[in-house]
Amino acid sequence: MKKKLEGHRILKVDPGSIGEELELEPGDCVLTINGNTIQDIFDYEYYVNSPSMIMTVRKADGEEWELDIENDYEDLGLTFENGLMSDYRSCSNKCIFCFIDQMPPGMRETLYFKDDDTRLSFLQGNYVTLTNLKEQDIERIIRFKLAPINISVQTTNPALRCKMLNNRFAGRALQMIDRLFEAGTPMNGQIVLCRGVNDGDELKRSIEDLTKYIPCMQSVSVVPVGLSRFRDGLYPLEPFTREDACRVIDLIEEWQKKIYKEHGIHFIHASDEWYILAERPLPEEERYDGYIQLENGVGMLRLLAAEVEEALAGLEDDGAKHTVSIATGRLPYPYIERYAGWIKEKFPGRTIHIYPIRNDFFGESITVSGLLTGQDVIAQLKGRQLGEYLLLPINMFRSGETTFLDDLTAEDAEKALQVKVRIVKSSGRDFVRAVLYPQLEPEPEEDAPGPGSGYGYEGYELEELSEEIQEEYK
């Protein structure tokens, strides 16, 4: 007996679209395109990107239609349930540095999901280990020309990678980088550095090995592991010292010079945290190669400085007076203070109080803003001079919401602290605007990864599931 295809249910049909002309409706299921079953959004977009196609659809009443469509590469205007994504792959590794393993119990369920789904690398920029990839996955990436793929390398030493990921196949997975390189697939890499494990000579080896993938591999970031206070029973990792940070920077900058001479790019990048820990000035803007590794904390603070300067250049003092306060992590605090000083210098009527929040929830070694909780913010700001508005970076909150990691909300902070809370988007322009005119709503523009807020690299990564995935994994 032939198995009945489940298909993908249509959620919405855009008015005036080809889908509407074909009399497709919400509740209809797309079964095949040109005889091919649709696995996910990548299959769909690949087959739709054509001059014509034959689509099989099951109507809501069970009747099946075969549609001969002349779309001339035009989108059909269909939105699917679950975003045409299902069967998300959770991580099969148990990395010695995984931040999710260092979280306390009792937080919301979506924070504990470990994804290692290569499709999310293309859709959201997530970094993946490649250990979940099968041969057909590699073939599909190459066939569909999906790019770039962001790879959590950690080390190019196969035996050491098996140890770091606690996966006996992790070393073999490195061979997939060769396949991607041979196919000309654009890539980015990431190394979460662990003291005494993959640093020193191992880091040197990894950098040298990865340079052979230039120009397909466009960049590699090196970020320090994030260590919370909840590490009982986990691999005994130690925090990096100032001297360690200096050695890491020296090694990376030595390779940057060599690679730039040979390839015209700097390729290997140290995250901002290394320079702060080493007490060294941030690199000049040109060294960031267009901020290609921004979401991994590479160049965030340098970009913020440039954006603040640019925003201030076109403004004149309006004589207005008010007081605002800013809460931030201990890591970006000196820079936020400096950039706020530039605003104060040009607008002397503004009083700006800046408070670095200690992370009591995860532990003092966690110093980024993106992992601060509402309870720590409230506890440490009580009794402080806050002015008319408290400015909080957007990365303190769940995407698209006003909820902290501990499920307290911006509204809870307002009530507890008796001050209006303004959530500040990530760019320097947004920062300047929020300080000068906190009463105004944020400008309706796309938010970019944020300087002075939280880092998104794997050492600290807490990217929650989308609403669609949440429903699937409830």
Give the pLDDT confidence of 184-211 residue by residue, as tens digits. 999 999 999 999 999 999 999 999 999 9
Say how many domains are in the chain. Answer: 3
Mean pLDDT of 74-92: 70
Query: Which of residues 59, 84, 109 is at a domain's end?
Result: 84
Q: Is the pLDDT of residue 90 over 60?
A: no
Looking at the structure, tell me whether residues 118 and 243 fall in a common domain: yes
Looking at residue 448, its pLDDT comes to 43
Q: What CATH number did the domain enclosing 54 receive?
A: 2.30.42.10
Looking at the structure, tell me whether residues 287 and 387 fall in a common domain: no
Assigned token pair, 104:
């306390």
Residue 108 vs residue 299, higher pLDDT? 299
**Of 72, 60, 77, nearest in space to 22 by CA:** 77
For residue 49, what are the domain limits? 8-84
Looking at the structure, tell me whether residues 219 and 312 fall in a common domain: no
Looking at the structure, tell me whether residues 282 and 149 fall in a common domain: yes
The answer to whether position 204 is within a domain reads yes
Looking at residue 36, its pLDDT comes to 84
Least confident of 38-52, 105-119, 427-441: 105-119
Looking at residue 125, its pLDDT comes to 55
Looking at the structure, tell me whether residues 311 and 289 fall in a common domain: no
Q: What CATH number did the domain enclosing 413 receive?
A: 3.40.50
pLDDT digits (tens, 9 = 90+) for 222-233: 999 989 898 888
The answer to whether position 233 is within a domain reads yes
Looking at the structure, tell me whether residues 280 and 151 fall in a common domain: yes
Looking at the structure, tell me whether residues 247 and 337 fall in a common domain: no
**Does the global pTM surpass 0.75?**
yes
The answer to whether position 441 is within a domain reads no
Looking at residue 442, its pLDDT comes to 75
The percent of residues above 90 in pLDDT, for the chain, comes to: 59
Query: Which of residues 280, 297, 314 is at a domain's end?
Result: 297
The answer to whether position 339 is within a domain reads yes
Looking at the structure, tell me whether residues 288 and 309 fall in a common domain: no
Q: What CATH number did the domain enclosing 191 receive?
A: 3.80.30.10
The answer to whether position 443 is within a domain reads no
Looking at the structure, tell me whether residues 74 and 125 fall in a common domain: no
Looking at the structure, tell me whether residues 156 and 260 fall in a common domain: yes
pLDDT band at residue 2 under the 50/70/90 scheme? very low
Residue 43 vs residue 149, higher pLDDT? 149
pLDDT digits (tens, 9 = 90+) for 166-191: 999 999 989 999 999 999 999 999 99
Query: Which of residues 297, 332, 365 is at a domain's end?
Result: 297
Least confident of 22-36, 44-58, 323-337, 458-472: 458-472
pLDDT band at residue 467 under the 50/70/90 scheme? very low
The answer to whether position 252 is within a domain reads yes
pLDDT digits (tens, 9 = 90+) for 401-423: 899 999 999 999 999 999 999 99
Looking at the structure, tell me whether residues 321 and 405 fall in a common domain: yes
The answer to whether position 254 is within a domain reads yes
Q: Is the pLDDT of residue 122 over 50?
A: no
Least confident of 26-30, 70-74, 86-90, 309-313: 86-90
The answer to whether position 93 is within a domain reads no
What is the rounded average pLDDT for all residues in the chain?
86
Looking at the structure, tell me whether residues 60 and 176 fall in a common domain: no
